[in-house]
Every structure is written in structure tokens, then in C-alpha cells.
Amino acid sequence: MGKIPEELLRKYVYPRIGIQRDDVIVGPMTGVDVALTSIKDNLVLVSHVDPIVGALKRIGWLAVHIACNDIATSGVRPRWIMPVIILPEEWEEEMLDEITRDIDHVAKELSVSIIGGHTGYGPGVKRPIVVVSAMGIGEKGRIITARGAKPGDKILITKGVGIEGTGILAHDFKDILQDRGIDSKMLLSAQRFLEDISVVREAITLAEKEVVDAMHDVTRGGVAEALIELANASNVRIEVWEEKMPIRRETLEFSMALNFDPLWMISSGTLILSVPPHKLEITESLLRELRIEYGVCGEVVPGKPGVIIHRRERVERISHPSPERDELARLWEEYPRVGS
């Protein structure tokens, strides 16, 4: 599933949001993944919704983690979720069993309650779709959004570039990767990447210590897309160096085998942090204590909103979001899987 181009969102979506209510603090906008609604006194409801369509195995696991990640990047603990499960036209009981079992497991792991949702199947649907709405409660003045990056901030990237996509490929594209020389040991290692897709622990820790100006989790479109979303949301320019980014060996090997660009590969579990220079040392210390791999790979610089990525062999300049470039979506089209 692709995203609608930015110009069409501005033309047909953002102007059509119903009535303007005084209790809506932050509504729909590009690059800001949570809605903020005033509910009582200084309390704010933080909410988010996300669909997962680019996976077969562990789709329920992914859906809950990814929705809860967006709540956590605002500095708020997720409390409630509402999953919508759309099964393919042809489905078996085992598929529903696996999806709901994974949703329940992650909900218990993150201490969130399932308070509603919907389960059904759709004519013409070829593979399962899981959509999760997540919610939490925070305090006014303490909510972090992607609008907070400031000139002079250092840009950090955690865990690894393209880790979610690498994990999905190891599960759902296993046969192709084996045919192209990826051994079973590396496949097994990459499959475990899906265990790294939660950012709740590190996001909440960093928020509580008040060390970041902005956090943005990396989803569809990968690190490159997340950087331009952050830059546009904060109205800043970001300059980064690929060689300073953490990229795991499995991701590099998979990218050569399947010919994809890791920086444009979906990567839930990866956080982009905008950190004031005087708080960089404590931020690094906290990440080391949490045993979170990271790279200090750039900074927020003066200039028009945009991203400059110093690639190993060229310079890539990005001025607007391009979620259609997501490499996992392209690979699903190029190599249709059973059930897709």
C-alpha cells in the first residue's frame, strides 16, 4: 500500500477535517504522527493510527509495536489500542489465531489494553491488513513532537538503518534470499530484527530525562523519508552523513542480494533524535546504558527546509516527502509472495 502524494493530501485531505474544535491542539499534518487533544485541566490525549500491509508473518506483532512507537516518541506511554483486522478473501483459522495471539502478546508486553476494534475479511483482499489505533495521556508542555528540532541540534540515529524491512525480508522473502546466497545463519539473525522494533523503552527514557528537542520513529520510506518529515515539520534543514549511520551487516548483505537502498527501507525500531549540543553527552550515556546502538550522523543547519545526505559516492538532496520510494513496497511488487 502506498501513501498519497503530499500535494494531494494538501488539496483533498488536510482542508477537509470537519469542524475546528478548541480542544484539538494538533491535528493532521505531514511529519507529525500523533494527534493531541485537550481532555481535562492540563491533560492531553495523544493518539495515533497506522496500517500494516507489507508483511505476512508477525503482522499483528508489527502493528501493535508500530502504533505504540508513535505514542512513545511523544514522550507518553501507550495505554490503549484498538486493532482492525482485515483478513484476505481466502483465509484459514490459523491466520486469525496467529494475528490475534501476536496482538495479545505485544499488548501484554507493553502493558496496554485492547479496548475495541473490528475483525472481518474483504472480497478481493489478497493478504491480511492490520490497522491499530493507539492512545496515551500526557501533560501539556511536556509532549514532544517532530516540530521541535532546532538549528545547532545534533542528529542521532539508533539501532540501525532498515531494520524492520530487513526482518520482514528474512521471513517473507527467505526463499529468494537463499537462492541469492544468503545462508541460514544470517537469515535467522535477521529474523530476530523484528524483536528490536519497539522504541517505547528508549523514547520514554529520553523524554523523562528531557534531553531531546524532537524524536521521530522511522517507518515507511525509511531513514531518508523520516529525515525529510522531521525537517519539514520543524521547518529546518538537516545535513547527515551515511557513513556515520549504524547499518547492520545483514541489511547490507540483503541490499546487495535484492538491489535495494537501505536508507529508503522501512525501519520501525529506529529513532531519529534531534539533540541540543549541550545534552549530547548525557543522551549518548543514556543510550549506552540502555544498550542501544546509535550513530551521531549529522546536525540541524541554517537554510530552507530539506535534507542533505552525504552518500558514500554522491550527495542526495531531498526537498519534499517521497513515501512512494519505500523499498519494501517495491520489492513486494517485484517479487509477489504466496498470499500477496
Same domain, 64 and 169: no
DSSP assigned state of 12: I
Alpha helices in the chain (DSSP H): 6-8, 59-72, 93-110, 163-172, 174-179, 184-191, 200-208, 222-234, 249-258, 280-289, 327-334
48 and 21 in one domain? yes
For residue 130, pLDDT beyond 80: yes
pTM for the whole thing? 0.86
- Looking at 96, 114, 139, which one is the last position of a domain? 139
More confidently predicted of 1 and 306 = 306
Cell triple for 208: 523523562
The phi and psi torsions of 236 (rounded to 5 degrees) equal -135, 170
> In CATH, what number is assigned to the domain containing residue 302?
3.90.650.10
Domain stop point among 104, 139, 174:
139
With respect to residue 226, please indicate whether it lies within any of the assigned structural domains. yes
301 falls within a domain: yes
Domain co-membership, 280 together with 251: yes
Per-residue pLDDT at 28? 84
pLDDT tens-digit map of 162-182: 999 999 999 989 999 999 999
The answer as to whether 224 is a domain residue is yes
Domain that holds residue 88: 6-139
By the 8 A CB rule, do 150 and 234 touch?
yes
Mean pLDDT (the chain, rounded): 92
The tally of domains found in the chain comes to 2
Q: Name the residue with higher pLDDT: 153 or 123.
A: 153
Q: How many Å apart are CA 7 and CA 39, to the nearest integer?
A: 32
Average of per-residue pLDDT across 303-319: 94
| CATH of residue 29 | 3.30.1330.10
Dump pLDDT digits (tens) for 67-94.
Answer: 999 999 999 999 999 999 999 988 889 9
Same domain, 205 and 319: yes
Both 112 and 162 in one domain: the answer is no
Beta strands in 32-159 (DSSP E): 35-40, 43-52, 78-87, 113-114, 118-121, 129-139, 154-158
- Residue 40 and residue 119 in one domain: yes
Residues 135 and 222 in one domain: no
Please tell me whether residues 160 and 133 are part of one structural domain. Answer: no
Question: Which residue among 139, 166, 183 closes a domain?
Answer: 139
Strand, coil or helix: what is 233?
A: helix
Helix H or strand E encompassing 297: strand 294-301
Tell whether 339 is covered by a domain: no
Report, as an integer, the average pLDDT of 256-284.
96
Question: Does residue 164 sit in the same domain as residue 292?
Answer: yes
CA distance 199 to 30: 21
The pLDDT of residue 1:
53
Q: Could you give the C-alpha distances from 49 to 13, 61, 98, 112, in angstroms and in order? A: 16, 15, 21, 15
Cα–Cα distance between 311 and 176 in angstroms, integer?
28
In tens, the pLDDT along 184-234 reads 999 999 999 989 999 999 999 999 999 999 999 998 889 999 999 999 999
pLDDT at 20 over 70: yes
Lowest mean pLDDT of 139-148, 222-231, 240-249, 317-326, name the range.
317-326
Mind listing the pLDDT tens digit for each residue in 34-44? 899 999 889 99
- Tell me what pLDDT residue 340 has: 43
Residue 300 to residue 72: CA distance in whole angstroms = 23
130 shares a domain with 14? yes
Q: Which residues of 83-93 are buried (b: 16+ CB within 10 A; e: fewer)?
A: bbbbbbeebee
Q: Are residues 113 and 223 in the same domain?
A: no
Q: What percent of the chain has pLDDT over 90?
A: 72
188 and 263 housed in the same domain: yes
Q: Is the pLDDT of residue 338 over 60?
A: no
User: Do the strands 78-87 and 113-114 form a parallel or antiparallel pair, or are they unpaired?
Assistant: parallel
Mean pLDDT across the stretch 95-107? 95
